[in-house]
Amino acid sequence: GMASLMQTYARLPVTFSHGEGVYLYDTDGRRYLDGIAGIAVNGLGHAHPAVTAAIREQADKLVHTSNLYRIEKQEQLAEALTSLAGMENCFFGNSGAEANEAAIKLARLYGHGRGVGKPGIVVLEGAFHGRTLATLSATGNRKIQAGFEPLVSGFIRAPRNDAQALQQIAANNPDVVAVLLEPIQGEGGVKPLSAEYLQSVRQICDQQSWLLMLDEVQTGNGRTGSYFAYQGLNLLPDVVTTAKGLGNGVPIGACLARGAAAGVLGAGHHGSTYGGNPLVCATALAVIDTIRNEDLCANALAMGQVIRDTLLNDSAARHIREIRGSGLMLGIALERECGDLVSAGLEAGLLINVTAGDTIRLLPPLVIAEDEARDLASGVATLIRDLCH
Ligand code: PLP
């Protein structure tokens, strides 16, 4: 039972037995509308036939070989993903944190190649990049770091949306070689970076020969209405990391690179036993195909709008300070703390998340239909009304 697990999660008292589309069913047969999709993982919802078929077919043939050999599905996925991303090559790991570890190592090696002995990476306040030692050091949240010192050094913290502060860092820190940031901070409370700021970051990176590295672990794979969030912002990074929605639940992460960054990692520099194995790559290929075939980027944009409109046309709107985010990555900031809404939602058959104390976070499957999007929004509106009456 639970006691045999390290108590690293405060779990809700529910166990799911199966799912279909945007619905999950618990072990008592009760149905829940999934507004969080495994924290932006199940973009295609639950039990999508294309995903199930890919897993079945691949499992029938070959699950794992080794990166000692060529892997057909890995090469196919790399080709599909880099061409979607406007990148040149990629490395596969098993999670978002590992994708970021690859990017951090790439940036450091890039720095050493330029004669910088202690290369630094600029990261933002409120950032979340993972739970490994390097990625928690890059994370801008003391709660996640506390107790795990000494942290990995070489990260320089900058405020969000402040191009001048970044110029200042450039002037004062000759050892900086890269910037790592989330286009929309997810765990930090659904906080988007402004398009102007991101353009300035791109310019500064060009002037300084820094690598612009985007963490699209949460924002990628259609979530914000374009395949990657930067594609909706007319921006091209040097390095992109992604995970979560790429595998729809099978563990996969990727670090993509172009230009100077694409030539940095060579034989012996990095590795992962499972990374990019036939099973996960066959699955991710099916995910990418389905996102295109079912036009899920466009659906994310349209359904995000339906959710916003439904909320703003409800009397609950007077308790909403603002709705942040893009596509189906939405943060509904209230005028008060609302952590209790998670269990209230569960009782109402609605799976939601609360971040930053006062923000309801919605990350529903990208396959959500219009009536389901309305149900989700009006369910959330009811929760808000009941909390704030
Ligand atoms: N980066 C971002 C932006 C994330 O949202 C997350 C997970 O929430 C991670 C990295 C870490 O990913 P993982 O939990 O797969 O290691």
- According to DSSP H, which parts of the chain are helical? 37-40, 49-61, 72-85, 96-113, 133-138, 142-145, 163-172, 195-208, 278-293, 296-312, 341-347, 370-388
CB of 129 sitting under 6 A from ligand 1: yes
**What pLDDT is recorded for position 197?**
98
**What pLDDT is recorded for position 308?**
98
pLDDT at 356 over 90: no
For residues 141-151, b (16+ Cβ closer than 10 Å) or e, as one string?
eeebeeeeeee
Please state, rounded to an integer, the average pLDDT across all residues of the chain: 97
What is the Cα–Cα distance from 388 to 383, expressed in whole angstroms? Answer: 9
**What pLDDT is recorded for position 389?**
84
Residue 282: which of 257, 324, 247 has the closest Cα?
Answer: 247
- pTM for the full model? 0.98
Q: 5-9, 68-72, 359-363: lowest mean pLDDT where?
A: 5-9
CB of 314 sitting under 6 A from ligand 1: no
Higher-confidence residue of 30 and 356: namely: 30
CB of 182 sitting under 6 A from ligand 1: yes
Mean pLDDT value across residues 318-344: 97
List pLDDT tens digits, range 294-307.
Answer: 999 999 999 999 99
CA of 38 to the centre of ligand 1 (A): 12
CB of 96 sitting under 6 A from ligand 1: yes
List pLDDT tens digits, range 88-143.
Answer: 999 999 999 999 999 999 999 999 999 999 999 999 999 999 999 999 999 999 99
CA of 134 to the centre of ligand 1 (A): 13
CA of 30 to the centre of ligand 1 (A): 30
Mutate which of 36, 124, 129 for ligand 1 pocket (most atoms within 8 A of beta carbon): 129
Residue of 215, 238, 314, 375 marked catalytic: 215
**What pLDDT is recorded for position 358?**
95
Mean pLDDT value across residues 308-332: 98
Pairing of strands 329-334, 359-362: antiparallel
pLDDT at 71 over 90: yes
**What pLDDT is recorded for position 1?**
87
In this prediction, residue 279 has a pLDDT band, given cuts at 50, 70 and 90, of very high
CB of 187 sitting under 6 A from ligand 1: yes
Pairing of strands 239-242, 211-215: parallel
Task: Kindly compute the dihedral angle of the four CA atoms of residues 327, 333, 338, 339, in this order, to the nearest 10 degrees.
Answer: 50
Residue of 191, 244, 314, 375 marked catalytic: 244
Residue 35: which of 336, 329, 386 has the closest Cα?
Answer: 329
CA of 37 to the centre of ligand 1 (A): 14
CB of 185 sitting under 6 A from ligand 1: no
The rounded percent of the chain whose pLDDT value lies above 90 is 98
Mean pLDDT value across residues 356-370: 96
Residue of 128, 155, 191, 228 marked catalytic: 128
Is 215 catalytic? The answer is: yes
With H, G, I as helix, E, B as strand and everything else as coil, classify residue 137. Answer: helix
Residue 224: which of 309, 292, 300 has the closest Cα?
Answer: 300
CA of 385 to the centre of ligand 1 (A): 32
CB of 251 sitting under 6 A from ligand 1: no
Terminal alpha carbon distance of the chain? 39
β-sheet with 239-242: strand ranges across: 89-93, 253-257, 239-242, 211-215, 176-181, 120-124, 155-158
Q: Which two tokens stand for residue 329?
A: 């990555």
What is the Cα–Cα distance from 206 to 200, expressed in whole angstroms? Answer: 10
Paired with 91 in beta bridges are 255
CB of 218 sitting under 6 A from ligand 1: yes
In the Cβ-directed half-sphere of 211, how many Cα atoms lie within 13 Å? 32
What is the Cα–Cα distance from 196 to 175, expressed in whole angstroms? Answer: 25
In this prediction, residue 162 has a pLDDT band, given cuts at 50, 70 and 90, of very high
CB of 364 sitting under 6 A from ligand 1: no
Higher-confidence residue of 10 and 148: namely: 148
Mutate which of 218, 223, 224, 239 for ligand 1 pocket (most atoms within 8 A of beta carbon): 218
Tell me if 194 sits within 8 A of 161, measured CB to CB: yes
Residue 135: which of 166, 180, 173, 174 has the closest Cα?
Answer: 180
pLDDT at 277 over 90: yes
In this prediction, residue 207 has a pLDDT band, given cuts at 50, 70 and 90, of very high
pLDDT at 319 over 90: yes
Mutate which of 123, 141, 242, 244 for ligand 1 pocket (most atoms within 8 A of beta carbon): 244
**What pLDDT is recorded for position 44?**
98
Mean pLDDT value across residues 291-318: 98
Mean pLDDT value across residues 18-42: 98
